[in-house]
Amino acid sequence: MDQMGSIKDGAGKTEGAVPVIGHNWFKCRIALRSGRPYGVGMSSSTVPSSLGFGLFLPPFHPVEENPSLALERDAQLVEHVERMDFDEAWIGEHHSGGWEIISSPELFIAALAGRTSRIKLGAGVVSLPYHHPYMVAERAIQLSHHTKGRFILGLGPGALPSDAAMLGLDAPQLRPRTQQAASAVVRLLAGETVTEETDWYTLRDARVQLRPYQGKRVEVCAASVVSPSGAVLAGSHGLGLLSIGGTSQAGFSALAQNWSVTEKKAAEAKKSVHRKDWRVVGLMHIAPTREQAREDVKFGLDAWVKYFNEVAALPLVPSGSVESALDSMMDSGIVMVGDPDDATAHIRNLQEQTGGFGKLLLMGHNWANYENTRRSYELIARYVMPKFQHLNQGRSDSMEYVRARNPEFSGAAATAVAEAVQLHTSDDD
């Protein structure tokens, strides 16, 4: 990319021996250079024709930062990706560990409602075992009004064991409670009257008093990491699937299998599920060159890895240098740090592995500083998203049409000029 922000062609690009995303990368890079349309060659007949993009914001903030300013930057980042034509922004729920400092995605989304106008806003996710299902449904409907129909409700068991421990919950309780509460939430959102009693909540003739904004349904997604429990929940109730597992090696490997479970459970329950409603979360940072991208992530990657290895109970890579950690994650396929062409190849690889999904949600990891993080999303919007959304097909077709007939058009123009000159000369005579 030159200083004006234009991507150089293949002859002008730096091709260093930098590790990329596994054995399928070369196949994807060739497909990229050949201009193969999105989805061509994939096995599934239900591959969405266009890929949407979003931001997945846990968020991650080192404990040295001012939390108020960090939250404000998160809000500004959502405003930025809306200007970049991203489709969605998802906000997490966490209560411990010091880094992931949004405890209520619903409150944050309510604050964003007046600062945004088009982008959809998702709770990613509401940790169901921590909440009464009636209150979850009520808040979802209210947010559908505040956002004018842009709210998406994500449901899951919670990510941090320390959150559950503070509430007196044991890990084996979380998934069964999620299944119980999700069923109640879905029925309440559909306008049903629900009566049921469990060992942790009671509903008696419970019904919501508001319908969602303009009578439209609130979209609901179930979170899936590694285990199939989220996929079972999505299929059993005909919900969207939110695959957060693409950010770990085990979850990355389970992506396609979990979608198969979703389809199987949906068929058993006589529900419909669609790949366009399947969202996959990915780890990515790009810059004009691979070398610059790798330099960018030195800002925050080491602290992020230490947080996961030492605090969040989710070791991602062995401890070591920033370079070795990055190489390890890139070799495993769960991370892409590179240029726009590398990002395009990485996404094609995800599509090949999964058979196709509807939206790619980019994890807000804060590996780079704020300015370079914003630039990464802008580069994705300018040079990666168009390849998956057919934005320039008509322009390319027009350019090739004119190129092929250039001699004809040039000749006609030259003839017209010559005739005009001859006519002028004749008039002077």
The first and second tokens of residue 134, run together, are 């009636």
Report the alpha-carbon distance of residue 429 to residue 422 in Å, rounded.
11
pLDDT at 21: 34
Return per-residue pLDDT of the chain as tens, 429 residues: 443 344 443 333 433 333 333 334 333 443 443 344 334 334 344 678 899 999 999 999 999 999 999 999 999 999 999 999 999 999 999 999 999 999 999 999 999 999 999 999 999 999 999 999 999 999 999 999 999 999 999 999 999 999 999 999 999 999 999 999 999 999 999 999 999 999 999 999 999 999 999 999 999 999 998 889 999 999 999 999 999 975 556 656 788 899 999 999 999 999 999 999 999 999 999 999 999 999 999 999 999 999 998 998 777 777 778 899 899 999 888 899 999 999 999 999 999 989 999 999 999 999 999 999 999 999 999 999 999 999 999 999 999 999 999 999 999 999 999 988 888 887 665
The first and second tokens of residue 355, run together, are 């058979």
pLDDT at 426: 73
The helix (H) or strand (E) run that includes residue 74 is helix 67-83
Whole-number CA gyration radius for the chain:
25
In a domain, 320, yes or no: yes
Dump pLDDT digits (tens) for 112-170. 999 999 999 999 999 999 999 999 999 999 999 999 999 999 999 999 999 999 999 99
The type of residue at 343 is A
Report the alpha-carbon distance of residue 101 to residue 107 in Å, rounded.
12
In a domain, 423, yes or no: no
pLDDT at 314: 76
- pTM of the predicted protein model: 0.87
Strand partners, 278: 241
The first and second tokens of residue 1, run together, are 């990319």
The first and second tokens of residue 388, run together, are 């998956």
* 184, 194 Cβ separation under 8 angstroms: yes
In a domain, 244, yes or no: yes
Dump pLDDT digits (tens) for 250-297. 656 788 899 999 999 999 999 999 999 999 999 999 999 999 999 999
In a domain, 374, yes or no: yes
Which has the closest alpha carbon to 60: 33, 88, 92, 35? Answer: 92
Three-class secondary structure of residue 187 per DSSP: helix
In a domain, 397, yes or no: no
* 291, 278 Cβ separation under 8 angstroms: no
Report the alpha-carbon distance of residue 52 to residue 358 in Å, rounded.
6
In a domain, 363, yes or no: yes
In a domain, 418, yes or no: no
| CA torsion, ordered 148, 152, 158, 163, to nearest 10 deg | -10
pLDDT at 221: 98
Which domain, by its residues, includes 218? 18-391
Residue 159: C-alpha distances to residues 41, 94, 340, 398 (Å): 36, 8, 31, 49
pLDDT at 177: 97
Number of structural domains found in the chain = 1
Report the alpha-carbon distance of residue 70 to residue 91 in Å, rounded.
14
CATH number, residue 227: 3.20.20.30
The 3-class SS string of 357-400 reads CCEEEEECCCCCCHHHHHHHHHHHHHHHHHHHCCCCHHHHHHHH
In a domain, 73, yes or no: yes
Strand partners, 286: 338
Longest CA–CA span in the chain (Å) reads: 105
